[in-house]
Chain A
């Protein structure tokens, strides 16, 4: 069975896309969970500021999410563009 060059390139791109999105999802998942845990603590200590704290949590999580979105973009590029 001869494997052609173009096939190997596509195979590597598909495996790479899976690894990129899979490994890339670990960090944001843990980081955003930490942010949510600390926000629950902060709301427990100061429930009057729940709105402000939720807003801060969401902004922080959005920044943490960015690396997950980078992984998604790279995975989609590997799947459909290169």
Chain B
């Protein structure tokens, strides 16, 4: 039974939409649940402040929700996208877009929950610092959203760039690889950035006088946590915009798909690890602000080592794309 090309393109787009929204809903729900659980604990400690805590919980949850809203937008676009001249390559691109957004929303959703929860708790410990806690929560969770935004950018590029002149072999594998590279790598950076942001809200509540060093350490730590997802974005751009000569060989296609999987999975661990290092450093900068310099240095050395495996993954990805 033979199907025409537009059937295959629709199949890919609808499957991609399902994956985008299904996976994309996981992270935000977990993050918001964490925020709500911490808010409940906070209210139980001081019921008089329940209004402030409630407001802070809703703001924090709204930011965490944005990752899954990105996924919703991409899913709806995939469902109703009008493809002018359908090709099988476009089908692969649409499926890749769905994978990218689905995986890419997980980390940011989970990560944004941490600062929301810690801000609710902090509000009860230090009601005087409420506005500063909200600021740190918003800055921290905004940085957590960047990996999801990278995933949305790659998904939109895959959906709207015209690939009709590209040969099916091996472009289909390059486009699927581009989707998983940014999507998977975003998981680690989103969670890692959230760990650092959560510790900063905890730290501001614990020692209000250390708010400056705590925020600086958080931002530096988050910036390093974001790098694996930037590597993922880089590999995606190479895979999308490099033109590959037509070949019947399966090995070229698998090398390109492998490059995307390699950078995608390879970015998860270092993203989370860098975030853990930043969490530890931010937490202790708040307690021992006189040793902020030592802690920042140790954080950066530890993050550099944790980063090394993401760099190995990027090297193997680049070898798979350009050498073999």
In the complex, the answer to whether B294 meets A43 with C-beta atoms within 8 Å is yes
Q: How many residues of B contact A (CB 8 A)?
A: 63
Chain B CB within 10 Å, residue with most, of A35, A36, A40: A40
Query: For window 36-74 of chain A, which residues contact chain B by CB distance below 8 Å?
Result: 36-41, 43-44, 47, 50, 53-54, 57-58, 61-62, 65, 68-69, 71-72
For residue B2, CB closer than 8 A to chain A, the reply is no
Give bound CA distance, A35 to B264, whole Å.
23
Inter-chain contact B306/A50, CB cutoff 8 Å: no
Min C-beta distance of A31 to chain B, whole Å: 7
Question: Please, which residues of chain B bring their CB within 8 A of the CB of A22?
Answer: 184, 261-266, 313
Contact B265 A37 (CB under 8 A): no
B interface footprint on A12-29 (CB within 8 Å = 1, 0 otherwise): 111111110111111111
Cβ-defined contact, A25 with B309, below 8 A? yes
CA distance A71 to B266 in the complex (A): 11
**Chain A: CB-nearest residue to B299:** A40
Q: What number of residue pairs across chains A and B have CB atoms under 8 A from each other? A: 204
Closest to B249 in A: A7
Whether B264 pairs with A36 at a CB distance below 8 angstroms is: no
- Size class of the A contact interface (CB-based, 8 Å): 35 or more
- Which residue from B254, B263, B264 sits with its C-beta under 8 Å from A12? B254
* B302 pairs with A79, CB closer than 8 A: no
B268-A29 in contact (CB<8A): yes
From A11, A13, A57, A72, contact of B316 by CB (8 A)? A72
Within 8 A of A (CB), among B178-222: 184, 188, 192
A41 to B282, CA, bound (A): 10
- Among B251, B260, B283, B303, point to the contact of A36 (Cβ < 8 A): B303
Least Cβ–Cβ distance between B189 and chain A, in angstroms: 11
Instruction: Decide yes or no: A21 and B302 within 8 Å by CB, A8-B250, A28-B269 being known contacts.
Output: no
Asked whether, in the complex, the Cβ of A65 is within 8 Å of the Cβ of B277, the reply is: no
A39:B317 contact, CB within 8 angstroms: no
Whether B302 contacts A35 by the Cβ 8 Å rule is yes
Are B305 and A61 neighbours in the complex by a CB distance under 8 Å?
Answer: yes
B114 to chain A, nearest CB (A): 14
- Asked if B65 is at the interface of the complex by the 8 Å CB criterion, the answer is no
Given the known A-B contacts A33-B302, A65-B305, are A23 and B316 also in contact in the complex, defined by CB atoms under 8 Å? no
Q: Is A68 a contact partner of B308 (Cβ separation < 8 A)?
A: yes
A interface residues, Cβ below 8 angstroms from B: 1, 3, 7-8, 10-19, 21-41, 43-44, 47, 50, 53-54, 57-58, 61-62, 65, 68-69, 71-72, 75-76, 79-80
CB pairs A–B below 8 angstroms (8 shown): A11-B250, A25-B313, A26-B265, A29-B268, A29-B309, A30-B269, A33-B273, A36-B276
